[in-house]
Amino acid sequence: MDPRIQKLARILVEHSVRVKKGESIMISASSEASPLILELYRQIVQKGAYPITKIDVPGISYQYFKNASTEQLKHLPEIAIYEIKQMDGWIGIGAARNLRELSNIDPKKISLRGKTVHPVHKERLKKKWVIVHYPTAAFAQEAEMSLVEYEDFVYGACIQDWKKIGRKMEKLRRVLQKAEEIRVVGKDTDISFSNKGRVWIIDDGAFNMPGGEIFTAPVETTVEGHIKFDIPAVSTGKELQGVYFEFRKGKIVKATAEKNQDYLHALLNTDKGSSYIGECGIGTNYNIRRHVKQILFDEKIGGTVHFAIGSAYKECRGKNESAVHLDFIKDLRKGGKIYADGKIIQNKGKFVI
C-alpha cells in the first residue's frame, strides 16, 4: 500500500471525524476507492469504534437516472435517514471511474432527485462528517495529469499539519468576523454583501479534505453587483464554464454560462432558495496552485474566492434553504482584491493583513 494512504486515513480518523471508542462511523464510497476504504476500516476498528460501509459500484447512478420514473425520483428513502441518524460520524469518499456518466441525463431528473434526498443531507450535516477524494484515472484525466501526477497533487494538498494551519487561519478569521461588509473586485466582477450577524468558520480539514478555506453565509438579501467566474464548475458530470451572475437584493436576476447554460438555469429554478447565495468562501490552501475541475480542491486554491448558490450552513447562522449547494470560483491572483469594510485585506491573491 502507498504509505500516503495510511497517512491520509489517519488524518481523516483522528483529525477530521475524531473517532472515539464505541462510535458508529459510516464510510460511503465507490469500490474504486478500495485501498482507502480498507485502511479507514482498519483504523476505525483499532479505535474501538464500529465502521459501517455503503459501497457503490461504478455505473449504478447512470442505471438509476436512466430508468427511474418520476414516482421513484420523488421517493424519499426513509431507511437512509434512519441509518444516518444512528451514526456518530460519516466519511464520504469520491472515487469516480467516469466523470461524464450523467452527461446525457435530463438535468431536471437530477435536480428533482437532489431535492427529494435533501433531508438525508440535512441529517448528515448534524453529524461529524468529512468528504475526501481518492485519486482515480478519471480524476487524473479530467485534470489533464497522469495518475502519478494526480496522486502527488491529492496527497500534497491533503497531508499537512492541519492544526498548525488552523492556528494561522484564525488571524484572518478574526479580521473577517469584525467586518460588516465584504466586497470582491476583479475582472468583470464587483460584488458586495453584508455578513453582519453571521459567523466566519475555518475549514482546517474538519469538514473537507483537503481543508484550506474560511467561509460564511452572506445576509441573503444584501448581495449586490455582478461576478464572472473563470474556473469551471462541474456538477453531476456537467461542466459549467464562463458562468456570470448579476444580483439585485440578493437574488440572481441574470445568469449566463458559456457551456451548459440550460443546466445552470435548471439548478437556479430548483426551489426558492436556489437563486440566492448560501456561502462565500476564501481559498487559503497554497499547496493547491491550479484547478483540476473538482470543487473539493478548486475552492481551496490559495488566492481565490467562491460563492455557492443554494443552501447555507446553519453554523454560519445562514438562513437560506435549498436542495442545491454548488460553488463557483473566481481567481483573484491576476489583479483581484478583497475588501473588508473598505479596507483591502487581499491583493492579487495574497493577504495583506
pLDDT 10s digit of each residue in the chain, 353 long? 899 999 999 999 999 999 999 999 999 999 999 999 999 999 999 999 999 999 999 889 999 999 999 999 999 989 999 999 999 999 999 998 888 888 888 888 988 998 899 899 889 989 999 999 999 999 999 999 999 999 999 999 999 999 999 998 999 999 999 999 999 999 999 999 999 999 999 999 988 999 999 999 999 999 999 999 999 998 877 889 999 999 999 999 999 999 999 999 999 998 999 999 999 999 999 999 999 999 899 999 999 999 999 999 989 999 999 989 999 999 999 899 999 999 999 999 999 98
Q: How far apart are alpha carbons 293 and 297 in whole angstroms?
A: 8
Q: How far apart are alpha carbons 140 and 308 in whole angstroms?
A: 25
Domains of the chain and CATH, by start: 3-158 (3.40.1830.10), 162-351 (no CATH)
Burial of 328 (0-12, 13-18, 19+ CB in 10 A): buried
Q: How far apart are alpha carbons 350 and 353 in whole angstroms?
A: 9
Quote the pTM value.
0.85
Burial of 29 (0-12, 13-18, 19+ CB in 10 A): buried
